[in-house]
Amino acid sequence: MARTRFFYHLLALAVVAVWGVTFVSTKVLIGAGLRPAEIFAIRFILAYAGIWCLAIPRRGRQPLWSRSFADELVFIFLGITGGSFYFLTENTALAYTQATNVAFLVCSTPVLTALFTLLFRRLFHGRFAQGLEPVHVGFPLIGGTILALTGMALVIFDGSRFEFSLEGDLLAVGAALCWASYSLFMGQMTEEYGAVFATRKVFFYGLLTIIPFLLHSDTVFDMSVLARPSVWGNLLFLGLVASLACFIVWNLVMARLGNVTCTNYVYLNPVFTLITAALFLGERLTLTAAIGSTAILLGVILAGRRKSAK
C-alpha cells in the first residue's frame, strides 16, 4: 500500500513538472499572435481527439453519457472550471500582467483547495463531501503552506520587480479559484466513472463552453502561424502531453491520494518553470531561487504529513 501511494506521488510530481513548462509554451504562442481562446481550443481539440483513441477500444464498456442528469451537470461544471474558464483566465492574464504574477497567484490554488474542502465537508453531506480528503488544520498543514508560499515568492520574484495589474492579477486569481473548484469534484467523478471517461467529459464541455468566446472575437485566426515549428511544436506539447496525458494521470492521482494532497504539488510549478528557463532560455539559477526551491519542497513534504500528525 505504501509503495503504491509512493508511485502516485511520483506521478503527481511528473505532472507538475510538465505543467511547469506550460507557462513558457503559452507565452511563446501568445507572442506568435494566437489569442488565449484559440490556444485553449486547439489544445483541447488535440486532447479530445487523442482521448477518443484511448476510448474506442473500450467503447462497449464506456457509455457516451453519465448515469444521471445530475452527474452530467457536474461534468459541465468540471469542463468549465478545469477547462474553458481556467485556461481562458490564466492565458488572458499572461497577456495583461507579468508571468511572475500569474505563476504566483495561480499557484495559490492549494490554499484555496484546502479552504474549499474544509468548508464543503462541514456544510454539505453526500457522496461528494464524503469523497473529499479530510483536512486537519494544524501545524503541519499551516506551517507547510507558509513555508511553501514563502519559497514560491523567493523563486518567482527573485530579481524581478513586482508590477500590479488589476485586470491581469484578478484573472490569475480567477484561474486559481476555478482549479480549486475543479478539485472538489473531479476525484470522486474519476473514482466512479474512470479516468478516461471523466477526462473525456471535461475536454468535451471545455470545448463546448469556449465556443462563445471564439465567436465573440472580430479577428480571424491566421492559419499561417501553424507553419512555424515553434507554434505547432508548442501546440502539440500542450495538447497531447500537458492536456491529454497529464489530465488523465492527474485525475487518477487525485482520486487515489486525495484532492488536497494532490493539489499541494502545484506549489512546485515555479520550480520546474525555473529549471526550464535555465535549460532552454539560458537564465541563471540564483542562490535566492535555490533557497526558495528548497523551501517549497520542504513545505510540500511538511503539509503532506498532516495525517500522520493527527
Burial class (CB in 10 A: 0-12, 13-18, 19+), 20: buried
Residue 309: inside a domain:
no
Q: Tens of pLDDT along 170-181?
A: 898 899 999 999
What's the pLDDT at 75? 97
What is the Cα–Cα distance from 234 to 219, expressed in whole angstroms? 22
Nearest residue to 200 via CA among 11, 65, 39:
65
What's the pLDDT at 51? 92
Does residue 9 register a pLDDT over 60? yes
Question: What domain range includes position 120?
Answer: 6-303
Q: How confident is the model at residue 90 (pLDDT cuts 50, 70, 90)?
A: confident
Q: How confident is the model at residue 246 (pLDDT cuts 50, 70, 90)?
A: very high
What is the Cα–Cα distance from 18 to 238, expressed in whole angstroms? 9
What is the Cα–Cα distance from 306 to 137, expressed in whole angstroms? 8
Strand segments (E) across the chain: none
For the chain, the domain total comes to 1
Does residue 13 register a pLDDT over 50? yes
Is pLDDT larger for residue 59 or for residue 53? 53
Q: Tens of pLDDT along 120-144?
A: 988 888 888 888 888 777 777 778 7
pTM of the model: 0.84
Residue 17: inside a domain:
yes
Q: How confident is the model at residue 307 (pLDDT cuts 50, 70, 90)?
A: very low
What is the Cα–Cα distance from 103 to 139, expressed in whole angstroms? 26
What's the pLDDT at 289? 75
Q: What percent of the chain has pLDDT over 70?
A: 87
What mean pLDDT, rounded, does the chain reach?
83
What is the Cα–Cα distance from 205 to 44, expressed in whole angstroms? 10
Does residue 256 register a pLDDT over 60? yes
For residue 33, give the C-alpha cell.
Answer: 499572435
What's the pLDDT at 225? 82
Residue 250: inside a domain:
yes
CA distances from 104 to 59, 151, 273 (A): 41, 11, 12
Does residue 102 register a pLDDT over 60? yes
Is pLDDT larger for residue 102 or for residue 150? 150
What is the Cα–Cα distance from 154 to 31, expressed in whole angstroms? 26
Nearest residue to 250 via CA among 59, 78, 118:
78
Q: Indicate the residue type of 264.
A: N
Q: How confident is the model at residue 184 (pLDDT cuts 50, 70, 90)?
A: very high
Is pLDDT larger for residue 74 or for residue 52? 74
Does residue 283 register a pLDDT over 90? no
Is pLDDT larger for residue 246 or for residue 115? 246
Residue 310: inside a domain:
no
Q: Tens of pLDDT along 153-170?
A: 777 666 555 566 778 888
Residue 1: inside a domain:
no
Does residue 47 register a pLDDT over 90? yes
Q: How confident is the model at residue 77 (pLDDT cuts 50, 70, 90)?
A: very high
What's the pLDDT at 282? 62
What is the Cα–Cα distance from 248 to 266, expressed in whole angstroms? 16
Q: What percent of the chain has pLDDT over 90?
A: 31
Q: How confident is the model at residue 237 (pLDDT cuts 50, 70, 90)?
A: very high
Is pLDDT larger for residue 283 or for residue 112? 112
* Positive or negative torsion for Cα 300, 109, 68, 212: negative
